[in-house]
């Protein structure tokens, strides 16, 4: 079996974008791949976190991902900061990553514009920490949303460069970006991606939102003045709603256009909202029971942390030896 690796930052409540862009694929890939998933908590401190809230976010995210259908009997799901090879590999890869290539990362440009008071070195070197996450497990496929494409490319570049110097140390991974759902946009500004840290609460649907909140957000979603459900240029809002609806129901855009012929945006928004409510309902219910059982959550991540350390140490040791460290 090939290896799939991916991670998510516990930087706030998981969104419908995270779910449709990445986590849904994490779940389906479990039968075909050896899946290794991480809660990328080290990545979150590139933005300042409040300690108590951060602890809560980590456990909430862990329980939420399990609730989405990650089966800890089949897949590894560990906490990045518990596995020390990640921070070590990040330092090593920093030294094999060029300032120029990191400067071109659009996420760095976006996030440094957004957090102008704290443009720290970690924000800049985020991609080499992420490259290490992936390369430590010799991953074949990395299921992510479209916004991570550039980080996958730099991971491949770093690995290829390292292999060029020292022989075949790293497997060169490929991104696994879904055809549908790869870029879910904000419901309030459909030119911007839906994001955990969006300040406009109506723009972002969270995995754990109540059905009422979900319906309200879809009813308020920004559309256009045409009142005709079809996909097209200049219709970012409707295109986004069609994308969400299509990803969840499996209906093609043509089918959706056909089904909503002659109906207004109100009906369509209601249908999309209801589809999302039904998709997320069982997840929220399972989350409620997981989050009450902290001992079970701890048992799951401790077990996974230990195995992740064993697997990643093999790559780490090989890398250290190749470079010239004495082990």
Q: Are the C-beta atoms of residues 207 and 24 closer than 8 Å to each other?
A: no
Active-site residue flag, 269 = no
207 is an interface residue for ligand AQP by CB under 6 A: no
Q: Which is nearer to ligand AQP, 9 or 34 (CB)?
A: 9
Q: Is 310 a catalytic residue?
A: no
46 binds ligand AQP (CB under 6 A): no
User: Shortest gap between Cβ of 182 and ligand AQP (angstroms)?
Assistant: 6
Q: Which of 171, 179, 192, 193 is catalytic?
A: 193
CB of 204 to ligand AQP, least distance (A): 8
Q: Does 154 bind ligand AQP (CB under 6 A)?
A: no
Please say which residue, 6 or 162, places its beta carbon nearer to ligand AQP: 6
Rounded Cα–Cα distance for residues 37 and 302 (Å): 14
Taking residues 176 to 195 in sequence order and writing x for each that binds ligand AQP by CB under 6 A, - otherwise, the string is ------xxx--------xxx
> Is 293 annotated among the ligand-binding residues?
no
Q: Does 22 participate in binding ligand AQP (rule CB under 6 A)?
A: yes
Residue 15 lies near ligand AQP (rule: CB under 6 A): yes
Integer Cα distance of 81 and 216 in angstroms: 37
- Please state the closest distance from residue 8 (CB atom) to ligand AQP, in A: 4
Nearer to ligand AQP, 107 or 313 (CB): 107
147 near ligand AQP, rule: CB under 6 A:
yes
Q: Is 145 annotated as a binding residue?
A: yes
Q: How far is the CB of 198 from ligand AQP (least distance, A)?
A: 7
Phi-psi region of 138 (alpha: psi -120 to 50; beta: other; left: phi over 0): left
Does residue 321 have an active-site annotation? Answer: no
CA–CA gap between residue 185 and residue 235 (Å, rounded): 12
Per-residue interface string for the shown chain with ligand AQP, residues 125-144, x marking contact by CB under 6 A: -------------------x
195 annotated as ligand-binding: yes
The structure tokens 């969840």 sit at 248
| Number of residues forming the site for ligand AQP (CB under 6 A) | 21
Q: Return the active site residues.
A: 111, 193, 196
- Binding-site members for ATP are 9-11, 17-18, 145-147, 184, 193-197
**Sites of contact with ligand AQP (CB under 6 A):** 8-9, 11-12, 15, 17-18, 21-22, 144-145, 147-148, 182-184, 193-197
């Amino acid at each position: 079996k090939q290896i799939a690796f991916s991670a998510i930052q516990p930087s706030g409540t998981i969104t419908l974008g995270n779910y449709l862009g990445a986590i849904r694929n994490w779940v389906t890939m479990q039968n075909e791949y050896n899946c290794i998933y991480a809660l990328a908590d080290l990545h979150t401190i590139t933005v300042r976190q409040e300690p108590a809230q951060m602890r809560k976010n980590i456990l909430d995210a862990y329980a939420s991902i399990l609730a989405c259908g990650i089966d800890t009997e089949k897949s590894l799901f560990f906490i990045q900061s518990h596995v020390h090879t990640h921070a070590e590999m990040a330092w090593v890869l920093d030294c094999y990553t060029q300032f120029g290539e990191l400067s071109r990362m659009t996420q760095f440009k976006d996030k440094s514009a957004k957090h102008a008071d704290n443009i720290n070195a970690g924000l800049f070197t985020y991609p080499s920490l992420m490259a290490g996450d992936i390369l430590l497990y010799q991953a074949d496929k990395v299921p992510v949303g479209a916004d991570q494409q550039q980080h996958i490319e730099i991971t491949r570049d770093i690995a290829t460069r390292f292999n060029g110097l020292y022989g075949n140390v790293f497997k060169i991974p490929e991104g696994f970006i879904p055809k549908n759902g790869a870029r879910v946009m904000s419901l309030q500004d459909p030119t911007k991606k839906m994001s955990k840290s969006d300040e406009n609460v109506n723009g972002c649907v969270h995995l754990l939102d109540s059905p009422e909140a979900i319906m309200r957000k879809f009813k308020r979603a920004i559309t256009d003045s045409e009142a005709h459900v079809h996909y097209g240029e200049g219709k970012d809002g409707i295109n986004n709603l069609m994308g969400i609806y299509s990803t969840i129901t499996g209906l093609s855009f043509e089918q959706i256009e056909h089904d909503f012929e002659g109906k207004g945006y109100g009906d369509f928004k209601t249908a999309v909202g209801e589809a999302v409510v039904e998709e997320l309902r069982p997840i929220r219910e399972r989350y409620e029971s997981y989050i009450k059982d902290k001992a079970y959550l701890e048992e799951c991540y401790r077990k996974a942390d230990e195995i992740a350390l064993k697997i990643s140490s093999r790559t780490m040791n090989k890398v250290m030896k190749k470079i010239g460290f004495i082990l």
